[in-house]
Each structure stands twice: as C-alpha cells, then as structure tokens.
Amino acid sequence: MKTSKRTKQIDQALQEQEINGIEQAIDFFQNNQFRVNFDETVEIHLNLNIDVKKSQQHIKASVDLPHGTGKTPKIGVFTQPDKVQEAKSAGADTVFTEKDVSKIVDKKIKLEFDTILATPDMMPKIAKAAKILGPKGLMPSPKNETVTPDLKKTIQRLKKGLANIKNDNSGNIHQAIGKLSFKKQHLIENYQKLIQAVEKQKPEKLKSKFIKTATITTSMGPGIKI
C-alpha cells in the first residue's frame, strides 16, 4: 500500500525529535498539525495490568476533568414523572420515565447519548433494559456516579467535564482529554487528573505495575507512548 504524503511528514517529524513525557508529546502535536483543517481531539489510551475475566478487576469510575473535553456531552436521564422538568431544566437532552423502558427493550428508541443518568428509585425499573444499555456503556451505575438523587448537580458536572472511565474487553481505557487548541497546561492538568483517578482504581491484590503503558494521540495523529 502506498504511503501518503501526510504519513511521510509525520514519520519524518517523529524521527527528527526525541519525545519524552506528556509535555513534549503535546508540543509535538500542537506544532505539527499536518494539513488538518479541524480542531483535533486529544486522546489518552491506557493499557492496564488487569484480568478482564475477573469482574472484580474491572475499572468503572468517574473523573472531573478540570478543563473539560471540548465537547458538550449528550445526556439522557431516567427519572420519575415529577422530576422530568427538573432534569430538562438542568440540561438533560432527553428524559425517560418508566413507560419508556419497554420501548428501549424493543429497540424503538435510539440511544444516541454519551451518558445516561438515573435516579436511585428508577434502577429496579430499568433493570430489564440492562442488556440493551450495558453493551453500549450506558447502563447507569453508582460506581461512575451515573445513579444520583441530585440530577441538577450531576448534569452540571457532566457539562463541565465529568468523564466516565471504563476498561474495554482488552483491559484498555480510552479517554479524550481536550482539543488540540487547548492551552498545553490545560491538557497536562486534564491528563494528570485522569491518571490520578485511574490509579485510585488499582485492585488491592495487584502488587505489580497497574498502568502498563500510556499513549497519547489525536484524531488524525500518531500514537506516542508517554
């Protein structure tokens, strides 16, 4: 397969400088945008030393990124009818009640959300939709603070930069930490906050290194281990 001019430019730029650590990696991306005409997302990919076959080692948590991700999340909410207006006023994009659960089970509702919240009293009611919500990473859970009695506070946190982190089937975590146009220090602070949040989830019985590798990339850029 023929190598594109853009790929050659990236490879040459990587060969011309040694990159050590998050600061130099961000400098590289911000100084080498290689003919991309949009504001790229900066992503972190963490490879964890966990056994994904053991549910107790699964990582599911939340982190408040101090400078957000540069994207306004689309939020769905499950709650009782008397709290529908509260959720809408707080900024929820769509609010569901118990009558909508069967429609989700029957796949009559498109679940195009970044996050779905639920008030605690709704959890028994939406349990039968778990097989639909779970695989999409949308099943509310106390572990990542998506089950909450305070919808207003949680929705506001999500809008400001609350991110839910979860490992995939290969033991990796993928998380956006901002846009390439962000100030370098803001990207660094978001990265540090993410690492701190993940480190807190280290399984108690794991004695070896928890985060095996950390890689930074952008929407159209190469992956750089940091």
* pLDDT tens digits for range 160-178: 999 989 999 999 999 999 9
Closest CA to 201 of 54, 56, 53: 56
pLDDT for 1 beyond 60: no
Q: Which two structure tokens, joined as six digits, stand for 217?
A: 């990339």
Rounded mean pLDDT, 114-122: 96
Question: Would you say residue 11 has pLDDT above 90?
Answer: no
The pLDDT score that the predictor gives to residue 176 is 96
Q: Average pLDDT of 192-210? A: 93
pLDDT given at position 4? 67
**Backbone torsion region of residue 107, taken as left when φ is above 0, otherwise alpha when ψ lies between -120 and 50, otherwise beta:** left
Q: What is the mean pLDDT of residues 180-190?
A: 97
Bridge partners (DSSP) listed for residue 172 = 47
Lowest-confidence region among 22-36, 55-69, 125-139, 190-204: 22-36
In whole angstroms, what is the distance from residue 182 CA to residue 40 CA?
10
Can you tell me whether residue 196 is helix, strand or coil? helix
Q: What is the pLDDT of residues 64-113, one digit of tens each?
A: 999 999 999 999 999 999 999 999 999 999 999 999 999 999 999 999 99
Mean pLDDT for 36-51 is 94
Work out the pLDDT band at 2, boundaries 50, 70, 90. low
User: For the chain, which domains are there?
Assistant: 19-68+163-225 (3.30.190.20), 75-159 (3.40.50.790)
Whether 141 shows a pLDDT value over 70: the answer reads yes
Q: What is the pLDDT of residue 51?
A: 92
Residue 117's region, left for phi above 0, alpha for psi from -120 to 50, else beta, is beta
